[in-house]
């Protein structure tokens, strides 16, 4: 095999490996509604992550489980979703601006 073939094969293996590392997300979104009527849609995305959408947005944020003093805290560089029992809080990470509080399952 020539060097161009080896590079192509290596690229294909790396691409398949990267795709395999992404946990499969459920097709079923869980709907919560917050005190200010903000709709939060989320679904599990592996053991330590969730996908989260706000309102009718098509943009899904992959939030990773991060350490928390209580409850479960999922975040990415933009959003955080903190749940404790059957209630949640969504806020913007950089400014800590609350997007929705008192979020509960519908």
Residue 73 lies in a domain: yes
CATH number for the domain harbouring residue 28: 2.40.128.200
pLDDT of residue 29: 95
- Asked whether residue 5 carries a pLDDT value surpassing 60, the answer given is no
What pTM, to 2 d.p., does this model score? 0.74
Give per-residue pLDDT as tens, 72-98: 999 999 999 999 999 999 999 999 999
Q: How many domains are contained in the chain?
A: 1
Residue 78 lies in a domain: yes
Residue 16 lies in a domain: no
- Asked whether residue 30 carries a pLDDT value surpassing 50, the answer given is yes
CA distance 87 to 34: 9
Domain that holds residue 95: 24-105
Residue 3 lies in a domain: no
Question: Do 80 and 91 form a contact (C-beta atoms < 8 A)?
Answer: yes
Query: In degrees, to the nearest 5, what angle opens at C-alpha 100 toward C-alphas 71 and 83?
Result: 10
Residue 15 lies in a domain: no
Residue 58 lies in a domain: yes
């Amino acid at each position: 095999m020539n060097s161009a073939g080896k590079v192509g094969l290596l690229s294909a293996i790396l691409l398949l490996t990267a795709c395999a590392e992404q946990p499969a997300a459920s097709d079923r979104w869980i709907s919560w509604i917050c005190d200010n009527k903000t709709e939060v849609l989320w679904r599990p995305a592996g053991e330590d992550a969730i996908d989260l959408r706000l309102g009718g947005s098509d943009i899904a944020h992959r939030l990773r489980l991060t350490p928390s003093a209580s409850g479960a805290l999922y975040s990415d560089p933009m959003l955080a979703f903190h749940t404790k029992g059957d209630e949640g809080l969504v806020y913007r990470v950089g400014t800590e601006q609350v997007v929705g509080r008192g979020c509960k399952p519908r």
